[in-house]
Chains A and B, each alone.
Chain A
Amino acid sequence: MTAMLLAMASPVTDIGQRIPQYADYVRILPVLVLSIFGMLIMVLDPLIDEQIHSKVLGLIAFFGALASLAAVFYQSQYPGLAFWNMVRVDMFSTFFQVVILAIAVLTILTSFEYMDTQRIRAGEYYALILLGTAGMCLMSSAVELVLIFIALEISSIATYILAGFLRRDPRSSEASLKYFLLGSFATAFFLYGVALMFGATGSTSITEIATALSGSYVPSLAYIAVALMFVGLGFKLAAAPFHVWTPDVYEGAPAPVTGFMSTAPKAATFAVLLRVIFEAHVPGYFWLIWVAAVLSMTLGNLGALTQTSIKRMLAYSSIAHAGYMLVAFASAPAGGISAVMFYAASYAAMNVGAFAIISHLGGFGERFVSIEDYAGLARRAPFMAAMLTVFLLSLIGIPATGGFFAKFYVFSAALQANLVGLTILGVINSAIGAYYYLRVIVVMYMQEAKGDIPVTPLPIGVRAVLLITMLTTLYLGLVPGNVLTYTQSSAQNLVAPKSPGNGTIKVEIDFHLSQAKPKVELTAPASR
C-alpha cells in the first residue's frame, strides 16, 4: 500500500519517467514486509479455526516483525534516497527502525498471553500492531512532509483503534475516543504548520526547505509554521502543555498497547522532530522546546506523585521522560541528537519491560492495576518483583542501568550548550521523580499483601520479554559505548549539509555503515 502511495505521489517532484528501481524497494523493505504480513493476518483471520486462532496469528505477527527487523539490517547496506527523494535510509533511520521494530516484537510476545486472559479476538489486533509499526518505520525514514504526514496518520489511526481494543470495557472505549478526538485535533495543527511551511518555502521536501531557509531572510510565516508543527508533534510526544490526554489514554488502553504506544510512536515522532529541526534547519524552535521541556518535566513528575494506579503513574512518568528528551533538543545539534537517540532506546527497553509485568499481573479485565495491588509482590513472585525493580531503578536513572546514561548524556549535552538553568531544573526533576518510583519498590518489598491477589506463573513469551528488556537495560547501563558510538556518527551524518537530490540515487555511503554493526537495541543481548 505504501509503495502505491509513493508511486502515486511521484509526479510531484517531476523527475520524468523514471520507474522505481530495485534500490527504491530495498529502502522501504521493512515497511513492505510489515504491510504484507499485516494484510496476510487480516486475510487469514476469518479462515483459521477458532481454537488455534490467536496462537497462529500471533506467531505470524511475531515472525513478520522479526522478518522486518532482518530487512532493516539488510537495508542498512543500501543507504541513500528512494522514491524521488521521499525516503532517506541512513544510520539515523536504521537506528530508529531497529528500536521501533524491537518494541513491536516485544509487544507481540507480551500479547500472546494477554489475548487469552482478556478473551479478545486477536486478528485485527496483530494486524493493527504491524500496520501501525509500518507507519512508524516510515516516519523515521521519511524526508518529505507529505510522506511524514501520511506515515504519522498510519501510525496514529492504528493506535487510536488499539487503545479501544477492549471495546466492551467502557474505560477502553473512552480512552480511544479521547485519544482520537485530541489526536485528530493535533494533526490538524501539524497540517496547518505544514501548509504554512509550504507557503513560506515553496516546497515540502526537507532538503529543499533547508535550502530555502538557509538564506539571510527568513519569512515570518516560517516561524508560525514551526510553532504549529510543534503543537502537532508535541501532542504525539505527550509533551506538556499538550499532555492532558496521556494519563487517561494510558490508563484506559490495554496494558500491552500502553507499553507499545508509550514507546514506539514516541520514538518515531522524535525521529520526525529531529529531522524537521536539524535537517530542515527550521528557525525559532529554541524557546518552544525550552518551555515544553520544563513544563513536561515538572508537570509530569508532580502529577505522578499522587497517583494510585500504576498505569497512570507511568503515564505521568512518560510525560516527564518526554521532557528530559526535549532538554537534549534545546542543546547543540550533534550531542543532543545522539542523546535523544540513546534515550529513546533505553526508555523503550525499560518501559516495555515494566508494562509486560503490568499486563501479566492485571488479570482478567485488568482488575489489579493499582499500586496497592503490588504489595508483598516480592514474597509472592520474587522474580517479577526483581525485574520490576530493575526497570523502576532504570526509570529513576540509577547507575548501571540504561536510564542513568540516558539522563547523563542528555544533561551533559545541555551543559555543553551552556544551558545551566535547564540542566538544574532537569536534575531537580529527576530527584522528585525518584520518590514515586521508589514508592512502588517499597510497596513491593516492605508491605504485606492485602487480600488475595492471584499470581499466575509467567508464560514463556512474557519471560522472554522480561529477559530481553532487562539485559538491554543493563547492557546500555554497563557498556553504553557501542550504542553511543553509533548514535554519535548517525547524528553527525544527520547534521552534515546535504546536496539536494535530483532524482538519481545518490549513494551517500558513510563508509562506517557497511562495517558497523547496527545491532544496537534488544537484539544484541538477546543472543547471549
Chain B
Amino acid sequence: MVPLSYYLVLSAFLFACGVAGFLLKRNIITIFMSIELMLNGVNLSFVAFAAQWGNLSGQIFVFFVMVVAAAEAAVGLAIIIAVYRTRDTLNVDRVNLLKL
C-alpha cells in the first residue's frame, strides 16, 4: 500500500505547479487551466485523507469541488469571451485598462 505522505506530496506538488502557472503564464486560458490544476491537487488530498480516516465525506467533497469547478469553467470561459470581444487579446498584460 502506498503511504499517505506520497499522496500528500504529489498533491502539494500539483498545487504548487498550478500556483506557478497562475503567476508565470500570460495567456488567460493557460492561467485558467492552472487554477483547475490547483483544484485537482486539492481533490487528491481530499481522497487521500478520506481513505486515511475511513470517512467518506472527503470523497463526497471531491464531487462538490468538481461541480463547482464546472460551474466556474462555464462562467470563466464566458467572461474570457467577453474580454476577447472588447479587447482582441488573450494576454493578461494587455488587459490593463484599469491601472493596477
Cβ contacts under 8 Å, B83 to chain A: 170, 173-174, 176-177
- Contact among A153, A181, A198 with B31 in the assembled complex (CB-CB below 8 Å): A181
Between-chain CB contacts (< 8 Å), 8 pairs: A146-B57, A174-B87, A174-B98, A175-B98, A178-B98, A181-B92, A192-B45, A199-B53
B79 interface residue, CB < 8 Å from A?
A: yes
Interface size on A, residues (CB 8 A): 44
Interface residues, chain B, CB within 8 Å of chain A?
8, 15, 18, 22, 28, 31-32, 35, 38-39, 41-42, 45-46, 48-50, 52-53, 55-58, 60-61, 64-65, 68, 71-72, 75-76, 78-80, 82-83, 85-87, 92, 95, 97-100
| A188–B32 CB distance below 8 A | no
Cβ contacts under 8 Å, A174 to chain B: 83, 86-87, 95, 97-98
Cβ contacts under 8 Å, A185 to chain B: 22, 35, 38
Q: A164-B82, A173-B79, A244-B100 are in contact. Are A184 and B64 (CB under 8 A)?
A: no
- Apart from A181-B28, A191-B39, list 4 A-B contacts with CB within 8 A: A170-B86, A180-B79, A192-B42, A248-B99
**Please, which residue of chain A has its CB at the minimum distance from the CB of B87?**
A170
Q: A174-B95, A185-B22, A252-B98 are in contact. Are A196 and B45 (CB under 8 A)?
A: yes
Q: Would you give the shortest CB distance from A159 to chain B, in whole angstroms?
A: 11
A519 interface residue, CB < 8 Å from B?
A: no
Q: Would you give the shortest CB distance from A503 to chain B, in whole angstroms?
A: 15
Interface residues, chain A, CB within 8 Å of chain B?
5, 9, 11-13, 146, 149-150, 153, 157, 160-161, 164, 167-171, 173-178, 180-181, 184-185, 188, 191-192, 194-196, 198-199, 202-204, 244, 247-248, 251-252
| B97–A171 CB distance below 8 A | yes
| A184–B65 CB distance below 8 A | no
Q: Would you give the shortest CB distance from B36 to chain A, in whole angstroms?
A: 9
Q: Complex Cα distance A150/B45, Å?
A: 18
Q: A153-B72, A185-B35 are in contact. Are A177 and B80 (CB under 8 A)?
A: yes
Q: Complex Cα distance A174/B91, Å?
A: 12
Q: Complex Cα distance A374/B61, Å?
A: 50
Q: A153-B68, A153-B71, A180-B79 are in contact. Are A198 and B22 (CB under 8 A)?
A: no
Q: Complex Cα distance A450/B90, Å?
A: 39
Q: Complex Cα distance A203/B61, Å?
A: 11
| A191–B98 CB distance below 8 A | no
Q: A198-B49, A203-B57, A204-B57 are in contact. Are A149 and B68 (CB under 8 A)?
A: yes
| A173–B82 CB distance below 8 A | yes
